[in-house]
Amino acid sequence: MGRSHVRSTAGTSSPAPLSRRRLIGLAGLAALASIAACGGNDPNAATTTVAMAPGTTEAPVFTNPSTTVDPSLNPVSGGSLIVGLDAESPGYHPHVDPWGNGGHVVAKAIFDSLASYDAAGKVVPYLAESIEANADATVWTITLRDGIEFHNGEALDAEAVRLNFAAVQASPAYSSQLQLLASMTVVDPLTLELTMSAPWSTFPNSLTGDIGTQVGYMAAPAMLADPQGGRAPIGTGPFKFVEWVPDDHLTVERFDGYWQAPAWLDTVEFRPIPDSTSRKAAFDAGDIDVYYTADTSDITAYLEQQAAGDLTVTIGAPSEPDMVMLNTRKAPLDDVRVRRALAMSVDIDRLYDYLDATGVKQKLTGPYAASSFWFAESNYPEYDPAGAKALIDEYVAEKGTPVEIEFAGGQDPFITSYQELFQSMWAEIGVTANIVSRAQGENIAAVIAGEYQVILWGGVGGGDPDADYGDFHSGTGLNLAGFSTPEMDAALDEGRRLTDPEARKEQYAIVQQILGENVPYIWTGTNQFAVITPPTVLGMGGFLLPDGSAGQSITGGRFFLKDVWLLQ
């Protein structure tokens, strides 16, 4: 069903006008944020639906979703939804295939994860009944709920979970996510005991089924045994796989044997539309029903339409920050003076003016916002172009060569113009930045291969610092900036070992101070995604946990469709 159908039920029929501003704006931060490939999530984030007075253009007011939906409306079964994805995935095997936002949106329909987040951002058991540790967090016991079945009728039992973890351990791409897991014992059909090689206090964080925590999704044993399993995924989720035509669509239908209340929607079709301009046009024309974006000016424009009752904007709370990643393995970025100078010359206010993000984004001095429990002061450089120029002059005098860097980003003109802002600020301190515009897949491949110098990036920070272990530690496959120190490794290991939050915070303060001093990343602000739907699509912010309490519906650009329904 396209939006035309949704509209007909809502009594509105004219497509939204496509102004030049919106046409340009839609190519903005959505693409920037969508290049995020790896990293953590934000347990402190809560999903909100935004309510604005008609005609208001001030910063949005975040309110609880329940206040914006007529309580007299009861969800009804039926209908279909078309979701536009920002990228296609190579496959849908949770322990093999790398997923961005699009892959996780599909995964959250087909798979369930052992843990999830409640509305306040706390990790809670989801597929599991409980996840409990011994005193020093070296032995974890996962107890499963009774009676859960995969879509193919196999039972979700302790052996199935063991097979999933074994598949992760055998996966070159993901084995690092369970590197502390030493052995597994099936105690009884619903109980799995995991022995860690070292204390791992935040192990449940790794089971939430998100970017950086794909380990948490549970796939059917038959799918794990099938070398082509990722082409026909089998999970326990609210929707079961129907068909996949790569680069065209993937269709799922409601799984009536679901262990919770069945989903409301009959079917969901996911359409990968890699070009952000086309994707937004598809939403504006009613060809897709669900569009997600992190483009602040775009969100502002949609909020105005929401005020007129034309659509619904559901915003996830700030998650992984936007940043510029510096490859510290490559000269001249292997010199801390150059990295600090690049950060010192970036005027964040000018960036926010360009992004139409003043009052929406928060400035950062590290991976965690000042409002975060984990935030610590650091020596991260302040805006000081004169000081930056002095550092570059010193470097050039010493090395005898000018500073020239390659600065990669997405292909949208908006992103290129954004990069040109950095380029001009860096030019003022004597640094030549050559802009490289590439497709999302190419940027991810280049970063994974370490073949880049400077790139617009994301997916690091924002949540529990242990989720960033892979990004900051030297011994993982995910340290894409290539920066680590023995002291930082030790602090990350200690933070992972300790269970007391205050004690952990001390360790992560050390990490932030080392990052602030050495600047492997230039932090440009918090990042927010909005999911835009027609007004007849309800429940986007109403994801419920098994006990009926509110869960976190939208994390970054990833969201649940279990409790979404159509106004008939």
Partner 1 sequence: MRPLGVRLLRLVAVLLAVTAASFAMISLLPGDMVTTVLGANATEDDRAAVRAELRLDDPLPVRYARWVGDAVTGDLGQSYRTRQPIAEALGERLGVTLQLVVLSQLIALALAVPMAIFGALRPGSWLDRAISAVQLGLIATPGYLVAIALIAVFAVQLGWFDTTGYVPLSESPFGNLKSLLLPALALGLEPVALYARVLRTDLINTFDQDFVWFARAKGNPTKRIVLRHALRPSSIGVVTLAGITLGRMIGGTVLVESIFALPGLGRFTIDAISNRDFMALQGAVVVLTVGFVIVNFAVDLLHGVIDPRIRSAAAR
Q: How many helices (H) and strands (E) would you count in the chain? A: 16, 24
Q: Does 427 bind partner 1 (CB under 8 A)?
A: no
Q: Does 5 bind partner 1 (CB under 8 A)?
A: no
Residue 397 vs 449, nearer CB to partner 1 = 449
3-class SS letters over 190-218: CEEEEEECCCCCCHHHHHCCCCCCHHHEC
- List the interface residues with partner 1, window 60-99 (CB under 8 A): 88, 90-91
Q: Does 193 bind partner 1 (CB under 8 A)?
A: no
Q: Does 231 bind partner 1 (CB under 8 A)?
A: yes
Q: Does 119 bind partner 1 (CB under 8 A)?
A: no
Q: Does 248 bind partner 1 (CB under 8 A)?
A: yes
CB of 509 to partner 1, least distance (A): 25
Q: Does 486 bind partner 1 (CB under 8 A)?
A: no
CB of 378 to partner 1, least distance (A): 25
Q: Which residue in the set 247, 349, 353, 428 belongs to the binding site for partner 1 (CB under 8 A)?
A: 247
Distances in Å between the Cα of 481 and the Cα atoms of 289, 307, 319, 328, 565 are 37, 42, 20, 6, 42
> Buried b / exposed e across 422-446, counting CB within 10 Å, b at 16+?
bbebbeebbbebebbbbebeebbeb
Q: CB atoms < 10 A from the CB of 220, how many?
A: 25
Residue 91 vs 332, nearer CB to partner 1 = 91
Q: Return the closest-CA partner of residue 423 out of 354, 322, 500.
A: 354
DSSP 494: H
CB of 35 to partner 1, least distance (A): 13
> How many angstroms separate the CA atoms of 468 and 483, rounded?
13
Q: Does 17 bind partner 1 (CB under 8 A)?
A: yes
* Segment interacting with partner 1, rule: CB under 8 A, options 11-19, 117-125, 144-152, 161-169: 11-19
Q: Which residue in the set 273, 301, 343, 566 belongs to the binding site for partner 1 (CB under 8 A)?
A: 273
* Segment interacting with partner 1, rule: CB under 8 A, options 168-176, 180-188, 315-323, 549-557: 168-176
* Segment interacting with partner 1, rule: CB under 8 A, options 245-253, 348-356, 491-499, 536-544: 245-253
Q: Does 11 bind partner 1 (CB under 8 A)?
A: no
| CA-CA-CA-CA torsion sign (182, 234, 531, 324) | positive
User: How many residues form the binding site for partner 1 (CB under 8 A)?
Assistant: 50
The secondary element (H helix, E strand) that includes residue 308 is: none
Q: Which residue in the set 262, 385, 430, 441 belongs to the binding site for partner 1 (CB under 8 A)?
A: 441
3-class SS letters over 353-403: HHHCCCCCCCCCCCCCCCCCCCCCCCCCCCCCHHHHHHHHHHHHHHHCCCE
CB of 273 to partner 1, least distance (A): 4
Q: Does 267 bind partner 1 (CB under 8 A)?
A: no
Q: Does 460 bind partner 1 (CB under 8 A)?
A: no
CB of 454 to partner 1, least distance (A): 16
> How many angstroms separate the CA atoms of 519 and 326, rounded?
8
Within its chain, how far is the Cα of 461 from the centroid?
A: 10
Is there a cis peptide before residue 332, judged by omega within 30 degrees of 0? yes
* Segment interacting with partner 1, rule: CB under 8 A, options 200-208, 272-280, 300-308, 454-462: 272-280
DSSP 128: E
| CA-CA-CA-CA torsion sign (184, 188, 189, 193) | negative
Q: Does 274 bind partner 1 (CB under 8 A)?
A: yes
Interacting residues of 364 by C-beta distance below 8 A, sequence separation 6+: 321, 323, 370, 523, 524, 525, 526
CB of 88 to partner 1, least distance (A): 8
Q: Does 340 bind partner 1 (CB under 8 A)?
A: no
Residue 310 vs 347, nearer CB to partner 1 = 310
Q: Does 477 bind partner 1 (CB under 8 A)?
A: yes
Q: Return the closest-CA partner of residue 95 out of 214, 188, 220.
A: 214
CB of 450 to partner 1, least distance (A): 4
Residue 326 structure tokens: 């510096």
Residue 187 structure tokens: 């105690």
Q: Does 331 bind partner 1 (CB under 8 A)?
A: no
CB of 249 to partner 1, least distance (A): 8
Interface ranges with partner 1 (CB under 8 A): 15, 17-18, 23, 88, 90-91, 172-173, 175, 227-228, 230-231, 245-249, 271-275, 277-279, 281-282, 284-287, 438-439, 441-442, 445-446, 448-451, 475-480, 482
